[in-house]
Amino acid sequence: MIAIIDFWKRSISRVSPIGENSMSFLPQRLHAQIILIVSCILLITGIISGWITARNQTAGLLAAKRADASIMARNFAESCAHHLLVQDYAELESFLVKAAESPDIRRLQLCEPDGALVWDVVHNPGEQPLAKTGLTRLAPPGSGSAVIIQETGRLVIWQPVMAGNLLGWLKADFSLSAIREAHTRTWRKSLFLAMTWVACSSFLIVLLLRPIARSIENLTAFSKQLDEHKGAQISVTGQSLEISELGKSLNEASAKLLSTEQQILAEREQLRKSEENYRRLLVTIQEGIWVIDTEAVTTFVNPRMAEILGYTADEMTGRNLYSFMDDHGRQVAERNIERRKQGVKERHDFEFIRKNGERIFTRLETGPIFDEAGEYAGSIAAVADITEARKASMQLHASEQAFRAVVENSPDVIVRYDREGRRIYVNPEFERVNHLTAEQVLGKKPVELSTELAPMAELFTEKLMVAMEFGAVTKIDLSWVKDGRPVCWYVRVVPEFDAEGTVVSALTIWSDISERKQIEEEIRRLNEELEQRVRERTAELEQTNEELHKLNRLFVGRELRMIELKEQIRELEGKE
């Protein structure tokens, strides 16, 4: 074992060409790494094998212990039942004390069925069992059969005391220290065997790897020559087959190394061109780029950034970030830089002061810059001028406030629906008319709150979805009967579009026209009555006219007859 350790120390103390890239917890030499890994595998295998053996042995001992303890508890319970039947409590105490003298028994407790303690015998290691009684109550199992509970370091058995009926419970505590000691002995033995196995195996591995290590050292010395003969072909003669094969591989590697170097030079040239394109992009990009160092001093700005603030790039370079803002902005900027130092990337709006004193609103995409050591080296930000957009946003906000003032004070019910037909806004008039709060209806469809009016809600939803589908203003008349009175609503659906012309929602304006409908219905009814009366009066007039016509004909006939008679009289008078 000492020889193995000495060989191990010598292996670790040697310097390898790849030592700087090796993992710190492994030796630098390959054969030493092999020994370490194989030894660890063997040790772990031995430990696992010993653990399995100890566990299986412990399981077997524990199973046997449970069986023996169950038999003892059952015998104790039978004896206790006999003493309880004859009510010989003195003999019962003697029996329990004698039974507790068993080295594995730590405690025997006898209680009545309701848990009232009869006897409690405690056996501490190295002492005589001690019996006592008292008013303590136990909590026996609810079932009528024996219960075995394994706890830390002990085995507890609840054994019912039976004599036809349940006379009580016997609780027996058995110590598992013997099993634990056996487990410890087995584990120590297995560990010793594992260490012996590792030592012997490591010694054999050292004997096998010693000539291989010498060959590897020779190959390493040979490979060092390739650095000065990059691209050349080195002749390897008079060496072992392994070294000859490695020499061929190294010659191929040398040629590839030369090709790789040429490729790296080409890639460097390509990288230089890429950097030029990147700088050209920074110059022509429409967003400002601003870089500061750890002291918040400007180290780079592109022309667009300088244009946003009204400076030239040279004027801004070297100036402190805080010189482009007021005192309040400085406080905000200092907090933001602390967040950059913590590695936080974020987007936020910020107010700068231009060279002419004009305030300008910008939107920043900021992020930290760290050096190779992971230390904070500064910050970079992409800056966009949003002054005009902010003004437009403020105007839009004012417009929305005016709209909300009109909508929330409107006598009409106004509801906004999304493309799924769910309510996303209701005005106070809706809450007053329907006796529902906005929280109760927002996010729900009309059919989800309608019961008796479910068909009407489905009809309205169908027409609403059609209006949003075609993006056309739609008018809907809805009517139903509530509490014996007709209810009529005139609904106007106005689709709402986003900037791309897509319908995103619909605003509905509900006007209660029930009273107007009732007035119209009353006018219609009065018109019908008037028409009926006109028809009746017309009929009466027609009948009267008919009668007058008949009388007229009668009177005319009489007049004609009188004229004829007068003419006949005149003729008669002329003849005379």
Give yes or no: residues 175 and 93 share one domain. yes
Task: Identify the weakest region by mean pLDDT among 24-33, 155-164, 266-275, 464-473.
Answer: 24-33
User: Are 304 and 288 in contact, with CB atoms under 8 Å apart?
Assistant: yes
**Residue 47 belongs to a domain:** yes
User: Are 192 and 99 in contact, with CB atoms under 8 Å apart?
Assistant: no
Give yes or no: residues 3 and 129 share one domain. yes
Which of 464, 480, 512 is where one domain is finished?
A: 512
Instruction: Encode pLDDT of 318-328 as tens digits.
Output: 999 999 999 99
d(CA 346, CA 336): 9
Geometric angle at alpha carbon 401, from 399 and 402, rounded to 5°:
65
Give yes or no: residues 77 and 206 share one domain. yes
Pick the more confident residue, 186 or 212.
186
Does the pLDDT value for residue 379 go beyond 90?
yes
pLDDT at 367: 92
Pick the more confident residue, 568 or 366.
366
**Residue 558 belongs to a domain:** no
Give yes or no: residues 171 and 311 share one domain. no
Give yes or no: residues 376 and 460 share one domain. no
Which of 194, 213, 228 is where one domain is finished?
A: 228
Instruction: Encode pLDDT of 214-263 as tens digits.
Output: 666 655 665 666 566 556 565 555 555 655 676 677 667 767 777 777 78
Residue 10 token pair: 């010598």
Number of domains in the chain: 3
What is the percentage of the chain residues whose pLDDT exceeds 70?
A: 84
pLDDT at 297: 94
pLDDT at 344: 92
Give yes or no: residues 417 and 360 share one domain. no
Give yes or no: residues 292 and 190 share one domain. no
Contacts of 173 (CB under 8 A, 6+ apart): 105, 106, 107, 108, 154, 155, 156
Give yes or no: residues 47 and 106 share one domain. yes
**Residue 431 belongs to a domain:** yes
pLDDT averaged over the chain? 79
Mean pLDDT value across residues 119-126:
82
Q: What CATH number does the domain containing 184 carry?
A: 3.30.450.20
**Residue 552 belongs to a domain:** no
pLDDT at 15: 41
Give yes or no: residues 423 and 507 share one domain. yes
Other Cβ atoms closer than 10 A to 494: 14
**Residue 476 belongs to a domain:** yes
pLDDT at 1: 41
Q: How confident is the model at residue 19 (pLDDT cuts 50, 70, 90)?
A: very low
Instruction: Encode pLDDT of 285-308 as tens digits.
Output: 778 899 999 999 999 998 888 989
**Residue 350 belongs to a domain:** yes
Which of 469, 494, 512 is where one domain is finished?
A: 512
- Mean pLDDT is highest, among 107-111, 407-411, 503-507, for 503-507
What percent of the residues of the chain are helix, what percent strand, and what percent coil, each to the nearest 5? 55, 20, 20
pLDDT at 201: 75
**Residue 404 belongs to a domain:** no
pLDDT at 246: 66
Closest CA to 168 of 110, 210, 226, 129: 110
What's the maximum distance between 2 C-alpha atoms anywhere in the chain? Answer: 196
The residue to which tokens 């739609």 are assigned: 474
pLDDT at 16: 43
Q: In what order do the strands lie in the sheet with 147-151?
A: 130-132, 117-122, 105-111, 165-175, 154-163, 147-151
Q: How confident is the model at residue 8 (pLDDT cuts 50, 70, 90)?
A: very low
Instruction: Encode pLDDT of 344-375 as tens digits.
Output: 999 999 999 999 999 999 999 999 999 988 89
The residue to which tokens 């939107």 are assigned: 363
pLDDT at 9: 46
- By CB atoms closer than 10 A (0-12, 13-18, 19+), residue 191 is middle
Does the pLDDT value for residue 6 go beyond 70?
no
Give yes or no: residues 69 and 125 share one domain. yes
Q: How confident is the model at residue 265 (pLDDT cuts 50, 70, 90)?
A: confident
Does the pLDDT value for residue 407 go beyond 70?
yes
pLDDT at 212: 60
Residue 293 token pair: 């160092």
Which 3 state secondary structure label does DSSP give 137?
Answer: strand
User: Are 219 and 49 in contact, with CB atoms under 8 Å apart?
Assistant: no
Give yes or no: residues 342 and 491 share one domain. no
Give yes or no: residues 222 and 353 share one domain. no
Residue type present at position 151: E
Q: How confident is the model at residue 22 (pLDDT cuts 50, 70, 90)?
A: very low
Mean pLDDT value across residues 429-444:
86
- Mean pLDDT is highest, among 392-406, 438-452, 487-501, for 487-501
Mean pLDDT value across residues 161-168:
84
First to last CA, the chain: 194
State which residues form the domain around 474.
410-512
pLDDT at 353: 93
**Residue 260 belongs to a domain:** no
Does the pLDDT value for residue 207 go beyond 70?
yes
d(CA 246, CA 5): 31
DSSP 226: G
Pick the more confident residue, 183 or 311.
311
Mean pLDDT value across residues 136-154:
82
